């Protein structure tokens, strides 16, 4: 048994203009429709949406109730105030604590291997198939080390023609095991083979189109939730006074587990193209892409 966890707490309380809700399919499908269809087709048994309580009613009306007619759907809530005893939310903070806190909110609901995705990213079919298979074959810790996995997208398949993007650039060893993830900014193709970007320190970096990047499509065993719970107080304890934007993020958490030799992460190649609406101008290309998939009968009518 395995579960798809969809991070959707970043949606606004009003749905006008929210990119996750932009119809992009020929029948009014949104990106979530395709991701969930692909996950269920790959063998996942249920879907858990991470949302905020204040958008529950709208979310169910626009998305959830429709999907619940076809799939096993559950909800959990990410709340900025849901923090361990002894800590306080800094005055002036308005947003929850990032993707790590989001996934921690599935505690008690998800007790089996699971895949995490963003609600507004299209990942293609290959990643779901490979991650599901890996999780089926690696269900528990081996010698005290958790066997995680991730979809390894090629950088060139995740760029926008309309501006720069930020990606988690991965270092991978000869056995396709992840050794490091580095957030890299302002990524833009400079020719058919090369991409230019900046490190977190502002240093220019040149990368190849085939460089592995993480698109927040992770496969975890349920023990990961325990690790999130252990690490959250430590993270909060290191937030500097006055920092209202600090986030407990999955790539950082995974990197720490790798460094402490508590986990391995298998990078599973996917040659699919990532699609999302980073810029308004991206929408036309995304719509054309899904119209072609529909015309080629890759997807049935989903709405």
Q: Where on the phi/psi map is residue 17: left (φ > 0), alpha (ψ -120 to 50), or beta?
A: left
Residue 140 scores a pLDDT above 90: no
pLDDT of residue 221: 96
Question: Using DSSP, how many helices (H) and how many strands (E) does the chain show?
Answer: 8, 12
- Higher pLDDT: 276 or 175? It is 175
Domains and CATH numbers, the chain: 3-149+215-295 (3.90.550.10)
pLDDT of residue 11: 63
Model confidence over 56-101: pLDDT tens digits?
888 888 888 889 999 999 999 999 999 999 999 999 999 999 999 9
CA distance 243 to 219: 30
Model confidence over 177-229: pLDDT tens digits?
999 999 999 999 999 999 999 998 999 999 999 999 999 999 999 999 999 99
Q: At what angle do helices 223-237 and 250-259 cross, to 10 degrees?
A: 100
Average pLDDT, the chain: 92
114 — pLDDT class (breaks 50, 70, 90): very high
Model confidence over 220-252: pLDDT tens digits?
999 999 999 999 999 999 999 989 999 999 999
Of 166, 159, 145, whose CA–CA distance to 249 is shortest? 166
Q: Tokens representing 131? A: 């991650």
Predicted model pTM: 0.94
- Higher pLDDT: 262 or 13? It is 262
CA distance 98 to 30: 23
Q: For a pLDDT cut of 70, what percent of the chain falls above it?
A: 97
pLDDT of residue 9: 87
């Amino acid at each position: 048994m395995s579960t798809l966890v969809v991070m959707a707490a970043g949606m606004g309380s009003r749905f006008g203009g929210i990119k996750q809700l932009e119809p992009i399919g020929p029948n009014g499908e949104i990106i979530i429709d395709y991701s969930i269809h692909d996950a269920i087709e790959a063998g996942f048994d249920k879907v858990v949406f991470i949302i905020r309580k204040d958008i529950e009613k709208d979310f169910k009306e626009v998305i959830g109730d429709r999907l619940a007619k076809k799939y096993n759907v559950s909800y959990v809530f990410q709340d900025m105030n849901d923090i361990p005893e002894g800590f306080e939310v800094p005055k002036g903070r308005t947003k929850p604590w990032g993707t790590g806190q989001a996934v921690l909110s599935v505690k008690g609901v998800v007790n089996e291997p699971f895949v995490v995705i963003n609600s507004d990213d299209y990942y293609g079919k290959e990643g779901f198939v490979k991650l599901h298979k890996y999780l089926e074959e690696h269900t528990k810790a081996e010698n005290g080390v958790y066997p995680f996995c991730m979809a390894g997208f090629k950088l060139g398949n995740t760029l926008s023609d309309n501006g720069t993007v930020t990606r988690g650039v991965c270092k991978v060893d000869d056995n396709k095991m992840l050794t490091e993830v580095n957030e890299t900014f302002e990524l833009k193709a400079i020719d058919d083979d090369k991409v230019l970007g900046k490190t977190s320190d502002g240093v220019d970096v040149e990368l190849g189109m085939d460089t592995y990047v993480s698109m927040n499509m992770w496969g975890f065993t349920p023990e990961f939730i325990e690790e999130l719970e252990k690490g959250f107080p430590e993270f909060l304890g290191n937030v500097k006074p006055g920092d209202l934007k600090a986030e407990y993020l999955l790539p950082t958490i995974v990197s720490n587990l790798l460094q402490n030799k508590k986990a391995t992460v298998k990078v599973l190649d996917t040659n699919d193209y990532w699609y999302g609406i980073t810029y308004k101008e991206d929408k036309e290309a995304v719509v054309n892409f899904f119209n072609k998939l529909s015309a080629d009968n890759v997807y049935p009518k989903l709405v």
